[in-house]
Chains A and B, each alone.
Chain A
Amino acid sequence: MLGGWGNLMHPGREVTDERIERLTDGAVLCRGLGRSYGDSALPPPGVLDVATTIKADRFLSFDDRTGELTVEAGARLHDVIWAFLGRGWFVPVTPGTAYVTVGGMVAADVHGKGHHKNGCFGAHVTHLLLRTADGRMVRCGPNKEAQLFDATVGGMGLTGHLHAVTFRMQRVPSPWIYQESERVDNLAAFLEGLRAAAAAWPYTMGWIDCLSTGDAMGRGVLYRGRWATPEEAGRRKTPRPKARVSVPFSFPNWALNRLSIKVFNALIYRGHVPRAKRGVVHPSDFFHPLDKILRWNRIYGSRGFTQYQCVLPRAVGSQGVHRFFERLTQLGGASFLCVIKDCGPQSRSLLSFPMEGISIALDIAINGQTQTIVDALNREVVELGGRIYLAKDAFTQRADFEAMEPRLSRFSAVRRRYDPALRIRSRQSARLLDPADAPATVHSSNHRGVDSPDGPQGGTR
């Protein structure tokens, strides 16, 4: 059995190998560190093996004039960050956790606190090396096999198996972050604050207490940050990776309930004293606060959880965002963490998630109501002209997704051109993307590598 970060389990088995050429030979799907929440990195029904790239994690080259770094697809973002921060470099984009692979960052075209300035990760990728469904190795980039590139960035691994990724690192003036945070009383003030911060700050995001209602709806804490100047960093030494603790076992399912979530959210909000804070902070505390707790997904218990993340276009204004939160409150959706971020323009990639507007992410524990809640939220998102993030999704229905994604036919056309038989699929693609006439199971065997010249994987080295 195998799950995403949300711990919804399905049949599946991870296969790993240091030699990525051997690993992806005949593979139906690649998977990285399994941090997508839903079923993006799970094999489609009828297939068991998924090729996990985490042992193919070598850094291949770095050019310290241009900042161009090439790594194997399984390289961990955490390793990239800590190998380079002390040398004055940082990744152009990081999602909210550093425990992702660079291949996964391309597949989900991840965004972060800097989206309004830096765009998605794909905007900084200069080359990709991938194995398409016919087994060929293809190099692509923004100006080379550009359609394949645009479909691969954000394409959830469905256009081919990534072997290597080249992207541009960014110079930073110091390895520390200067952060300001501020308590905000309601949604309108929040949206205004995000907008104002976006003009002056490279990194912004907000945490919202989604259980607050009425005038206080959308209260929370707004964070702004930038790299500290050498003067601000002062005599601090180069930061080191933070110590981590692990959640040792799954919490009982009742541990996170409406009341405990309410208390937790109120504590964050009320605990933010004084009202506005500023200072130099560790980059992990700023970019990856939850990474301090390994396996935090266990707090949701064995039932698992899903994350609902959508983006609403700027045009809907604060009334639109308000309407979304009202619907969420009506549905009784209680989220442990709710994160809000204003996004910059949509990228050229065909299935990339962000668009100019407001992104909202919230966790929902799995219970009998989850499908109903997701369906209802999706209906709001469709009406408001927004869309959902595939890397988080496990519940969206095909008709809703199609209504959100006018770009889908272009993506499918490129995918079909490189993979006419749809050999590369995921549980998510079977649910949302694969055409109805797609073969249920292309491979006669569940076992990867039966048609590979190496033969089945041996145990020797």
Chain B
Amino acid sequence: MSGARVVLLGGTKGIGRAMARILSQRGDRVLLLGRDVDDLERSAADLAVRSGAAAILSARCDLADPSTFAGAIAHAEEVLGGIDRVVVTAADFATQEELEATPDRALALCAINFSHTVAFCEHARAALARAGGGVLCVFSSVAGERGRTPVVIYGASKAGVTAYLEGLDHRFRRDGLRTVCVKPGFVHTSMTAGLKPPPFAGEAEQVAAMAIKGMDRGTPVVFAPSIWRWVMLVIRNIPRFVMRRIGF
């Protein structure tokens, strides 16, 4: 579907940047939301120059500050004349060690990744409903599939997002809303810079293309790279006493 009106929160970096490029180059009308106005303008210029589009719109919206959500969505609705798709790639990340060392840091991460993300999606869902349904694509993580030693808190925040999106799917699908929950494995982005890449590490462009395909088809759950679907199938079925033993 090209020509769609798409709002991206987190489209200036990493996977969001790659998605914004593909969408604007195929003719979708992209609006970028992010917290740094200067960065937004640079990314908007990037999309405009790459796609040859007249201008790409952007507006300030900070996932750490819920007071910016309603205004940002209302603004996007107004300038685009309605919203067909909303993509959320923005999120917070810190290692388990960092989060354990600073409980406030853990609180902030849980707020950004779960409660603020839900609040933003509630605004987005209402706007999508006004345009007749639409697609809500949110990035969760394979880390949310199972409680695991290296990602106790981050994983829990993503498990919440995964459950929320499944619930939305059941509740609003008949009203025309399609939810796409993207579960990337390890992807080489600035979020994961400095971490040791595990097997099956993906690239931002590859995950972006898979997420867009998922949006076009209305696939409720997208594992990216797709090998993670099978890896996680195994991991979900490992008995707890074995998980505990292997410290995975």
Docked pose: A91 CA to B132 CA in angstroms: 44
> How many residues does chain A have at the interface if contact means C-beta atoms less than 8 Å apart?
20
A16 to chain B, nearest CB (A): 6
Within B85-108, the residues touching A (CB, 8 Å) are 90-95, 98
Chain B: CB-nearest residue to A19: B39
In Å, the complex CA distance between A459 and B93 comes to: 6
Shortest beta-carbon distance from A58 to chain B in Å: 4
Contact of B193 among A59, A62, A457 (CB under 8 A): A457
Chain A residues near B (Cβ < 8 Å): 15-19, 55, 58-62, 69, 79, 83, 87, 457-461
B10-27 CB mask vs A (1 if < 8 Å, else 0) is: 001110010000000100
Q: With contacts A16-B190, A58-B43, A60-B42 known, is A83 near B49, CB below 8 A?
A: yes
**Chain A residues positioned under 8 Å from B43 (CB to CB):** 58
B72-93, CB < 8 A from A = 90-93
The answer to whether B52 has its CB under 8 Å from any CB of chain A is: yes
Q: Which residues of B contact A15 (CB under 8 A)?
A: 193-194
Contact of B190 among A55, A58, A62, A83 (CB under 8 A): A55
Number of interface residues of B (CB under 8 A): 28
- With the chains together, A87 CA to B46 CA distance in Å? 16
Pair A459/B98 contact, Cβ less than 8 Å: yes
A161 to B129, CA, bound (A): 48
Asked if A461 and B50 sit within 8 Å, CB to CB, the answer is no
| Chain A, residue nearest B13 (CB) | A18
A62 to B17, CA, bound (A): 19
A87 and B51 CA atoms in complex are apart in Å by 10
Contacts of B195 in A (CB 8 A): 459
Q: A87-B52, A459-B93, A461-B93 are in contact. Are A59 and B45 (CB under 8 A)?
A: yes
Binding site for A on B (CB under 8 A): 12-14, 17, 25, 39, 42-43, 45-46, 49-52, 90-95, 98, 189-195
How far is it, in angstroms, between the C-alpha of A19 and the C-alpha of B43 when the chains are bound?
Answer: 11
Give which listed residue, B12, B42, B45, B93, contacts A460 with CB less than 8 A. Answer: B93
Contact B50–A18 (Cβ < 8 Å):
no
Question: Which of A18, A79, A459 contacts B194 (CB under 8 A)?
Answer: A459
The binding surface of chain A is classed by DSSP as mixed
Name the A residues within 8 Å of B52 (CB-CB): 83, 87
Residue pair A59, B92 in contact (C-beta under 8 Å): no
A458→B101 CA distance, assembly (Å): 14
Given known contacts A18-B17, A460-B93, is B193 in contact with A61 (CB within 8 Å)?
no
B157 CB to closest chain A CB (Å) equals: 13
Is B49 touching A17 in the complex (CB atoms < 8 A)?
no
Query: Are B49 and A461 in touch, CB under 8 angstroms?
Result: no
Q: Kindly state the separation between the CA atoms of A16 and B193 in the bound complex, as whole angstroms.
A: 7
| Residues of chain A contacted by B49 (CB below 8 angstroms) | 59-62, 69, 83
User: In whole angstroms, what is the CA distance A274 to B34 when docked?
Assistant: 59
A-B contact pairs, 23 of them (CB 8 A): A15-B193, A15-B194, A16-B190, A16-B193, A17-B193, A18-B13, A18-B190, A19-B39, A55-B189, A58-B43, A58-B45, A58-B46, A60-B42, A60-B49, A61-B45, A83-B49, A83-B51, A87-B52, A457-B194, A458-B94, A460-B93, A461-B13, A461-B14
Q: A55-B189, A461-B14 are in contact. List 5 more A-B contacts (CB 8 A).
A: A16-B190, A458-B94, A460-B94, A461-B90, A461-B93
Query: Contact at A461–B46, with CB atoms within 8 Å?
Result: no
The complex places the Cα of A18 from the Cα of B191 at a distance, in Å, of: 10
A459: chain B residues at CB < 8 Å are 93-95, 98, 191-195
Chain B residues positioned under 8 Å from A55 (CB to CB):
189-190
Residues in chain A near residue B95, CB distance under 8 A: 459
> How far apart are B26's CB and chain A's nearest CB, in angstroms?
13
Interface centre among B93, B95, B193 (most CB of A within 10 A): B193
